[in-house]
A = this chain, B = another copy of it.
Amino acid sequence: MKLFSAGIDVGGTKTQLCLTDEQGNILEEHKLETQLSRDPGKFFNWLFDELEQSCIRNGGTLSSLKGVGIGFPGVMNERTGTLTSAPALNWPAVDIRPLIAARYPGAAVLDNDVNMAALGEHAAGAAAGSGHFIMITVGTGVGSALFLDGRLYRGAGFAAGEIGYLIVRPGEYTAAADPEYSEFGPFEMEASGTGIGAKAADYLHSSGRPSIIRELAQGGPVRAEHVFAAARREDEAALQLLNQAYGHMAAVIKNIVLTLDLELVILGGGVVEKNPGYIDEIVKRVSRYTPHQPPAIRQAVLGNRAGAIGAAAAVRSKITSGH
């Protein structure tokens, strides 16, 4: 009898699924359009239908599974199984375990998506073998997962790693004065894709000087990709804007590494993946800080697959370690 582990990464638009064997070899992996519903029960019915099909294609059924790991875009209390703060899914606080139990009686490991991605990079990616690392994702916002003393660290209320809200300037007490950015924190407004775009728009608005950013945006909203593209063409304003963003990211990395004595930093997310020079710029700045030994800084290698791979790995390790 075959024993599979399933890993699922739920996103607002795409859901990634993977099936592994007992050794962690990937048997099947695919990306689905998330069939989102106001009724979370309907969503899980759809999800387990898909998972069942996947098991059948590999010669088994849902009962061939050792367990299912699922990562969610929100705050997951992994002990009670309650999901909160998941705006991408547009659900109220949901107790996930009974919804899964209605379709699947086996073990379910639940966590947030960034934690699962960190487990994925640890199991089969850029963090293999490390006992002390942070994984930072830079995209629309900035998020992170902490892996300390050989295991995920979740914090007193399962909200560890929410670094988007880090204070950048002491005494600037409110997160974002502009309601358009009310869901973003001070550090995100410096270093995320959203923040870089907003800073560039401000700059173009207040400065009369020419910049390629303006041409690239073509009168539409200014986005981070325009700033990175302009910087590749040596545009002065774009280089300055990115220097600010890199500087804030490097200082935050330095401070977290120093506080936690980490050996490794993994950087991922759209902004990092789409801009090949990103990692080098950060390494350069972090290594300038004295007197401590700089950590290894590497790019995440699993991309959007990390969460599902990590969720399947979480199933295998939970069951092995008897938690």
Contact = CB atoms under 8 A, between A and B. Distances in A.
Count copies of this chain in the complex: 2
Interface centre among A254, A260, A263, A290 (most CB of B within 10 A): A260
Interface centre among A157, A169, A248 (most CB of B within 10 A): A157
A161 interface: yes
Interface stretch (A41-49, A148-156, A228-236): A148-156
A155 B289 contact: no
B263 A156 contact: yes
Interface string A231-250: 00000000000000001101
Nearest to A251: B170
Contacts of A170: 247-248, 250-251
Contact of A260 (B160, B167, B254): B160
B262 A155 contact: yes
A258 B290 contact: no
Contacts of A263: 156-157
- Number of chain A interface residues as a range: 35 or more
B163 A258 contact: yes
Nearest to A190: B170
A158 interface: yes
Contact of A255 (B154, B167, B288): B167
Nearest to A157: B261
A280 interface: no
Nearest to A246: B170
